[in-house]
Chain A
Amino acid sequence: MRIVILLLFCSLLMGCSQEPSRIQDELDLGQYTQAVDQSSRQDPMHDAAQLMVRLETQFASYRFEDSITTARTIEKLPLPQDNPIRLRAKSIQLSAEAMLDRLKQAAGTYQIERSILDDGQEETTFPSTGQLHVSFGKPHSLLATVQYQHFGMSDAPRSDTETVRFEPDLSARLSLSEGLVSYVFSRAGLTLTFEGPGGKRIYQLKKVD
C-alpha cells in the first residue's frame, strides 16, 4: 500500500513539473508544420502534429473519407479530452462526415420541374426534356460526374457526360467562352443555369430517386 501511495505521489509531481513545451503554442495556433519542424521525433507531440498535417492535407484536397480515417487515428492517441489537436481533429471529422452525408443526399437522378428563359426583360417558361444523373467520386469527394440524358431544350437535347468540380457549398461555376454554367444544389433540388449572350436558361430540377 505504501508503494501505491508513493507512486501516486510521484505521478502527482510529474503532473506539476510538466511544463508547457515550446511547440505547444504552435499547436494551439494550428501551425502543425512548424510544430513538426521544431520538435524531435522523441517529442510526444511530434507524431500528433505529423498526423494533423496529414489530416489537413487530405481535408484541403477534399478527400473526406481519408480525412475521417486519419481523424480516427488521432482520436486513438493518448491525448487528454480537451487537447486542441484532439478537438480540431474531431471538428474536421464532423465536417467531413456532414459533407459526405450531404453528398449522399445530392447524388441521384434529377428531372426537370421547370425551365425558365430569362432574357433580361422577362421570364418565360419553355419546353424542356430529359434527366440528369449526378454521382460523386472517390477519393476526391467533390468531383462529380454529371450525365445528361436527352437533356435540355426539346429540339436540341444533349446526351453526354461532364466532370464537374463542386465547391464545399455544393455549387459549381464553369465558364464558357461567352457565358457560364452554374450548378447549385439546394434542399429543394438542383438548379442548373446556362448564362449566355442571349440570356439565362434556368432549369429547376427535382430528385426522382
Chain B
Amino acid sequence: MERCSLCGTPLETEATACSYCKHPVLKKQQFDEESSVTPVRSSRYVLSFIIVFAIAVGAIGTWYALTQTDSTHTTLAAPVQALSLSDWSDETSAYNQTYSSENPPASYDILKFVRQYTQTVPETANYSKATDTLETFSAIQFATLDAFQSEVDALRTIHAASDSPVPPRLQTVDFKRFVSKEDSYQVRTVETYQLPVNQQLVTYDVRYNVRLHTDHLQITHIVRTEVDA
C-alpha cells in the first residue's frame, strides 16, 4: 500500500493529498505509469518464489530422509557422556558374563575378558601337577583345559621365580591385533610381568583364540612366546 512520504499515513488509491497532513501525493503519477510494467515483474516474483520453495522443500526432505535412516539405529540423541568406570575397567568380572544371540559380546568385552585372564597368569605359573587341584586355579574359568596346560608349559620363567616371598605380578597388557574370523576372535597381546628378583621383567608375545562357548566366552588356544622387551 502506498504511504504518505511525509508522515507515513496510508493513502487511498485515488488520493492526491494525504488525508492527515494534506501533503500532496507527488509520485502518484509516476506510480501509475509504472503499473503497466508490473505483470512482467510479478511473474518473475512468482517464479523465484517457486524456486526458493522447491529448494526449501528439497533441503527439508533431504534432511528428513537422512535423519530417518539414522534415527532407526540410535535410540536417543542424549548428550555424549564419559563411560562409567565399571563399563571399561575390570571392576566386574568378565567370566561370569553370559551372552545370547540377542545380547552378543561387544568387541570391548573380548578385550576385557583377555585382560582379566592375564591377571591369573602369575597364579597359573605356580601350578604343579603333582600337588595342585586344577579347579582351584582361576585361569580355568577363562580357558579350556588344553589352553591352561599350554600356559603352564609356557610360563617357565615366571614359574622359576614363583617361590620367592613376593609373587610375580602383571605390569602391562598391550593389545596389538584384534580380529574376528567368523565366530572366533583372535587377540594378540604383548604382556609384561614383573618378577620379584631385582624387579626383573619378562615380556611375552601372546596369541589368544577366544570364542563364544554356548553362552560364555572361552579362550580355546594360547600361543605364548617369551620375547625381549
Task: Mark each residue of chain A from 1 to 23: 1 if its CB lies under 8 Å from any CB of chain B, else 0.
Answer: 10011001101100110101000
Write the nearest CB–CB distance from A61 to chain B, whole angstroms. 5
A206 touches B (CB below 8 Å): no
A143 touches B (CB below 8 Å): yes
Write the nearest CB–CB distance from B179 to chain A, whole angstroms. 6
A32 touches B (CB below 8 Å): yes
Q: Which of A5, A34, A163, A176 contacts B51 (CB 8 A)?
A: A5
Do A32 and B107 contact each other (CB < 8 Å), given the known contacts A84-B73, A175-B167?
yes
Are B62's CB and A59's CB within 8 A? Answer: no
Are A18's CB and B69's CB within 8 A? Answer: yes
Nearest opposing residue in chain A for B114, CB measure: A60
Are B77's CB and A31's CB within 8 A? Answer: no
Do A175 and B180 contact each other (CB < 8 Å), given the known contacts A82-B71, A95-B88, A163-B194?
no
Chain A residues in 8 Å Cβ range of B55 = 4-5, 8
A165 vs B191: C-alpha distance when bound (angstroms): 13
A30 touches B (CB below 8 Å): yes
Are A61's CB and B74's CB within 8 A? Answer: no
Task: Mark each residue of chain A from 126 to 158: 1 if its CB lies under 8 Å from any CB of chain B, else 0.
Answer: 000000000000001001000000000000000
B111 touches A (CB below 8 Å): yes
Are A16's CB and B65's CB within 8 A? Answer: yes
Interface centre among B59, B108, B165, B179 (most CB of A within 10 A): B108
Q: Which of B54, B73, B85, B169 contacts A169 (CB 8 A)?
A: B85
Write the nearest CB–CB distance from A108 to chain B, whole angstroms. 22
Are A60's CB and B62's CB within 8 A? Answer: no
Do A33 and B62 contact each other (CB < 8 Å), given the known contacts A20-B72, A53-B178, A82-B71?
no
Nearest opposing residue in chain A for B72, CB measure: A20
Are B88's CB and A169's CB within 8 A? Answer: no
Are A57's CB and B176's CB within 8 A? Answer: yes
B91 touches A (CB below 8 Å): yes
Interface majority SS on B: helix, strand, loop or mixed? mixed
A36 touches B (CB below 8 Å): yes
A208 touches B (CB below 8 Å): no
Chain A residues in 8 Å Cβ range of B54 = 5, 8
Restricting to A63-88, which residues have a CB under 8 Å from any CB of B?
63, 80-84, 87
B24 touches A (CB below 8 Å): no
Write the nearest CB–CB distance from B71 to chain A, whole angstroms. 7
A92 vs B107: C-alpha distance when bound (angstroms): 14
Q: Which of B66, B80, B106, B177 contacts A94 (CB 8 A)?
A: B80
Are A60's CB and B74's CB within 8 A? Answer: no
B82 touches A (CB below 8 Å): yes
A90 touches B (CB below 8 Å): yes
A47 touches B (CB below 8 Å): no
Chain B residues in 8 Å Cβ range of A63 = 174
Write the nearest CB–CB distance from B184 to chain A, whole angstroms. 10
A16 vs B8: C-alpha distance when bound (angstroms): 52
Instruction: Supply 27 A–B pairs (Cβ within 8 Å), ascending by A.
Output: A1-B51, A4-B55, A5-B55, A15-B62, A15-B69, A18-B65, A20-B73, A28-B73, A31-B106, A31-B107, A33-B180, A33-B185, A57-B178, A82-B71, A82-B77, A83-B74, A84-B74, A90-B80, A91-B83, A92-B83, A94-B82, A95-B88, A143-B172, A169-B85, A174-B169, A175-B166, A177-B164
